[in-house]
Structure 1
Amino acid sequence: MHLCVIGLDCVPPELAFEQMAMPNLRALMQRGSYGRLESVVPPVTVPAWACLATGRDPGALGIYGFRNRTDYSYEGLTLATSHSVREPAIWDRLGAAGVRVIVVGVPPGYPPRPVHGVQVSCFLTPSASSPYAYPAALRGELEARFGEYLFDVSDFRTTDKPGLLRRIYAVTEQKFAIVRYLMTNHPWEFLMFVDMGPDRLHHGFWRYHDPAHIKHPAPNPFPQVFPEYYAFLDRQIGSVLDLLADDVAVLVVSDHGARRMDGAICVNEWLRREGFLVLREEPREVRPLEPSMVDWTRTAAWGEGGYYSRITLNVRGREPQGILDPAGVERVRGELIQGLEALGDETGRPIGTRVYRPEELYSDARGVPPDLLAIFGDLYWRSAGSVGGGAVWARENDTGPDDANHAPFGIFVAAGLALPPGEVPGLRLLDIAPLIARHFGLDVEA
């Protein structure tokens, strides 16, 4: 019994199922099952792939984004690693049952952890000189054949679009080449890998694909960038499928979708305007918010930038210089929700922002959760955490050029799994690990 899981970061159903020519994916759809796959909140690479692998939501994992608070200090933000995931991944459970596994590039996969098989870490690998493979000897084996490991597309928020495109193709090509090598030279019953190429393409080139994008250029220097890359990606998928025996089950899956980015809400500038955040002095230029810049004795809340915003309250007895009475936390959360959800674009037009309390999303919010999670403009808007200049709205990402944000639905295409044929509605990211467990005869609820 074998299963091959092909992970494509950030691929939306609109592209994979409707707009792009992908004959290998279509053939798989015709002989199996497919549909939209509802992601988690937040629909972000970290924690989404970890949620898929464990069957647990972000609250249960205590992972709410790439960076998470480790304590209630003002400085305690750390990057998620493989050690942040304290629930067993599906390949851990399979390995414990004697199933040999190959795992490549599944975030957060650095550092690689011992598995019953081989593992190669993900795009969060610090550098190509880092110990990115398990067992350790695998690194030399791979470098002898493929050279330096291209763990991610470097500098994907850049104005050098031709260079970026070359790097995206190179990363995708090497990822699939490594997978083909491993699956033909190492024993396995379960294979899973994730390619970050689609995500980097969307962030770098969405304006050239979407005429509705606010920055869609005329003339368009890259009119075929999406069709050409997706055709290339489909050929790479086909190169893996060609190596599989007829009785091997296949699952193609993405962790979330993508859509154009209309702009950014400068969450900390809004908090300043509304009196929730006070700085020691006015910044001379737009810059990231740092704890030393904040007058904590007069600050009630601050926010993080990113694909969505995490807002934290400065609570007395919890934060070092907290000022909010714990009894008043719910009142302040209500004021923030009301104000942010009413915030429109620069013209006052409603954009449909939703702000959630973590307990509304998760039955258990472990670790140090944010006090609020804000999804700006149905994800057509992102969060900018920088301060300076006073503007609440921006038309560019504050960490570099970015054309796209994420979307709530990814894709799944499956053949040989316990799903009805044709389009299957209602499948969630959190259903994937139980589906895989069922395929191998494991206890789904474990």
Structure 2
Amino acid sequence: MTRKRLLVLGLDSVPPQLLYEDLRDLTSNLQLFLDIKGILLSNYPPITVPMWGVMLTGRSAGELGVYGFRHRRPGDVGVSYVVSSRSIPGGWVWDVLGGRLGLRSLVVGVPPGYPARRVRGWFVSCFLTPGVDRAFAWPPGIRGEVLAAGGGDYVFDVKYRSGDKEGVRRGLWRLAETQFRVVRHLLRSKPWDFAMYMHIGTDRVHHAFWKYWDPEHPRYPGEGNPYEDVIPEYYALVDRLVGELLEELPRDTEVIVVSDHGAKAMKGAFAINQWLVEQGYLKLREQPRKPGVDLEWSMIDWSRTVAWAWGGYYSRVYINLKGREPQGIVGREEYWSVVEQLKRDIEKIRGPDGEKWNNKAYHPTELYPEVRGDAPDLMVYLDNLSWRPAGTIGWPSIYLEENDRGPDDAVHDWLGIIGGNAEVLKDFVKGGGLVPIQKVKSIILAHYGLEPEEDVDR
């Protein structure tokens, strides 16, 4: 059986409106192979890590035990560990292609991918990589080749929460040009059967420059501001680099382009721990002496605390549970009543002017067929993701105009993109309808003639 090669191009955080409508005229190379256009429906939580893992293993975040790029262990109120490639050891689509069909895969930038995964083929790790002096390439022998193709270096990410907007812009251009140059080299020089490249820069440009581009953003500085064209220019840059990349593809290659979630304007941040204090769930030994203080273990009166939270694009709330937390006070017999009361209270939160919000709070068992790993007790989405939960305390109000972790203009959204010229898409993307993110693995397997039930590693 002769199979066409498949390239999956991942563009992190790209929403349908931008690629299919607003920036269509600036993305002519991408439009050339978008014969089929669909809408990807992300899952819980719509966060870069774990959504690429959900997409390419076909398993939910609960089954994977990955709920964000950082996790806490029971008993730790602060940051405990960052997810790595070891957090999702197997079951990826390239594992199936290699194990069942003996196909060689070329994978670049797919998270969580550090340390570099051992694959049947070649792997370059993702934005979680600390630097080029680490184990970022598989097999290790291609490390020098990657660096040489990148002009002596390789850029994994850019610091996007920064007031130095010129520096962020320069970093984004360097990231794109370096990574695409390396990917072109690898596509040209390796005898691959399946290839995937995930580009993180589209996510970063949204977070850093959305308010300058979107007139509907609550903090839009007005027409003619110095950064209003950064997002369109970056999409045009990526499109040019995609065009150059397409020239490297063998003639027997089909293409799928996909994002893991979408993006939209951040209306503001909500001080979730400060709200928990106001509601009596979280008790402090003393009030913070300045605004924007991180919640630390020593600040909390654990003998009277019922719950506390982490901030992020969604909030993870933890119950001070007896037998699990070092100074837990909530008994197992009352756990579910506390969870349900917290849910009701969260869903009643309103906006700064009393406006009704669309809030959702879920226990992980409501979302996933299996809950593994260090899961939170509640997963909280404020105003349909438009407000970012802030974990810091000491603010004069629970409503913050800006993100508490540095400049950030965008939040994530539920809808992403899926399209391309691959024939297999016709069976899954019909009438521009929704494609659940967990179906993408099945689409890739179907391209190579494998049914989902044949995925023995699932």
- Aligned AA (2:328): G
Q: Which residue of 2 aligns with 1:441?
A: 449
When structure 1 is superposed on structure 2, of 335-344 and 3-12 the one drifting more is 335-344
Q: Which residue of 2 aligns with 1:350?
A: 356
SS in 2 for 1:192: strand
Cα distance between partner residues in 1 of 2:79 and 2:217: 37
SS in 2 for 1:42: coil
SS in 2 for 1:295: coil
Q: Which residue of 2 aligns with 1:131?
A: 135
Spell out the pairing of 1:224-373 with structure 2 (5 A cutoff). 224-285=229-290, 286-373=292-379
Q: TM-score normalized by structure 2?
A: 0.94
SS in 2 for 1:191: strand
SS in 2 for 1:265: strand
When structure 1 is superposed on structure 2, of 216-225 and 375-384 the one drifting more is 216-225
Q: 2:52 aligns with which of 49, 54, 67?
A: 49
Q: Which residue of 2 aligns with 1:379?
A: 385
- Aligned AA (1:333): V
Shift of 1:71: 4.0
- Aligned AA (1:342): K
Residue 116 of structure 1 pairs with residue 124 of structure 2: no
Shift of 1:419: 2.6
Q: Which residue of 2 aligns with 1:202?
A: 206
When structure 1 is superposed on structure 2, of 120-129 and 216-225 the one drifting more is 216-225
Contact 2:105 2:195 in 1 (8 A): yes
Cα distance between partner residues in 1 of 2:423 and 2:432: 12
Shift of 1:282: 1.4
Q: 1:88 aligns with which of 84, 91, 107?
A: 91
When structure 1 is superposed on structure 2, of 261-270 and 63-72 the one drifting more is 63-72
Cα distance between partner residues in 2 of 1:140 and 1:245: 25
Spell out, residue by residue over 1:47-70, the C-alpha distance to the aligned partner (whole angstroms, 9 max, x if none): 001111101110000001111234
Shift of 1:24: 1.7
Aligned residues with identical type, % of pairs: 43
Cα distance between partner residues in 2 of 1:370 and 1:442: 36
Cα distance between partner residues in 1 of 2:301 and 2:131: 37
Q: Which residue of 2 aligns with 1:432?
A: 440
Spell out, residue by residue over 1:132-151, the C-alpha distance to the aligned partner (whole angstroms, 9 max, x if none): 11111211112223212101
Cα distance between partner residues in 2 of 1:304 and 1:71: 13
Cα distance between partner residues in 2 of 1:145 and 1:316: 54
SS in 2 for 1:369: coil
Cα distance between partner residues in 2 of 1:115 and 1:389: 48
Residue 402 of structure 1 pairs with residue 402 of structure 2: no
Contact 1:61 1:86 in 2 (8 A): no
When structure 1 is superposed on structure 2, of 55-64 and 285-294 the one drifting more is 285-294
Q: Which residue of 2 aligns with 1:142?
A: 146
Spell out, residue by residue over 1:370-420, the C-alpha distance to the aligned partner (whole angstroms, 9 max, x if none): 111111111111110011135211111111000000000110112224232
Cα distance between partner residues in 2 of 1:330 and 1:14: 40
Aligned length: 443
Contact 1:264 1:393 in 2 (8 A): yes
Cα distance between partner residues in 1 of 2:423 and 2:388: 36
Closer, same or farther: CA 73–158 of 1 in aligned 2, 3 Å:
closer
Q: Which residue of 1 aligns with 2:417?
A: 411
SS in 2 for 1:418: helix
Closer, same or farther: CA 264–75 of 1 in aligned 2, 3 Å:
closer
Spell out, residue by residue over 1:4-28, the C-alpha distance to the aligned partner (whole angstroms, 9 max, x if none): 0101011000101010021122221
RMSD, matched Cα: 1.5
When structure 1 is superposed on structure 2, of 303-312 and 231-240 the one drifting more is 231-240
Cα distance between partner residues in 2 of 1:231 and 1:390: 42
Closer, same or farther: CA 71–315 of 1 in aligned 2, 3 Å:
closer
Residue 187 of structure 1 pairs with residue 195 of structure 2: no
Contact 1:105 1:122 in 2 (8 A): yes
Contact 1:105 1:121 in 2 (8 A): yes
Shift of 1:74: 4.1
Shift of 1:73: 4.5
SS in 1 for 2:10: strand
Cα distance between partner residues in 1 of 2:250 and 2:149: 25
Q: Which residue of 2 aligns with 1:9?
A: 12
Cα distance between partner residues in 2 of 1:217 and 1:389: 24
Q: 1:29 aligns with which of 27, 34, 39?
A: 34
Q: TM-score normalized by structure 1?
A: 0.96
Residue 157 of structure 1 pairs with residue 165 of structure 2: no
Cα distance between partner residues in 2 of 1:103 and 1:192: 5
Shift of 1:75: 5.3
Shift of 1:246: 3.5
SS in 1 for 2:18: helix
Closer, same or farther: CA 80–350 of 1 in aligned 2, 3 Å:
same
Gapped regions of structure 2 (runs ≥ 5): none
Contact 2:70 2:79 in 1 (8 A): no
Spell out, residue by residue over 1:169-208, the C-alpha distance to the aligned partner (whole angstroms, 9 max, x if none): 1101111111100011111001011111111100000001
Q: 1:393 aligns with which of 390, 399, 404?
A: 399
Q: 1:103 aligns with which of 103, 107, 115?
A: 107
Cα distance between partner residues in 2 of 1:183 and 1:195: 15
Contact 1:269 1:390 in 2 (8 A): no
When structure 1 is superposed on structure 2, of 162-171 and 220-229 the one drifting more is 220-229
Cα distance between partner residues in 2 of 1:246 and 1:128: 33
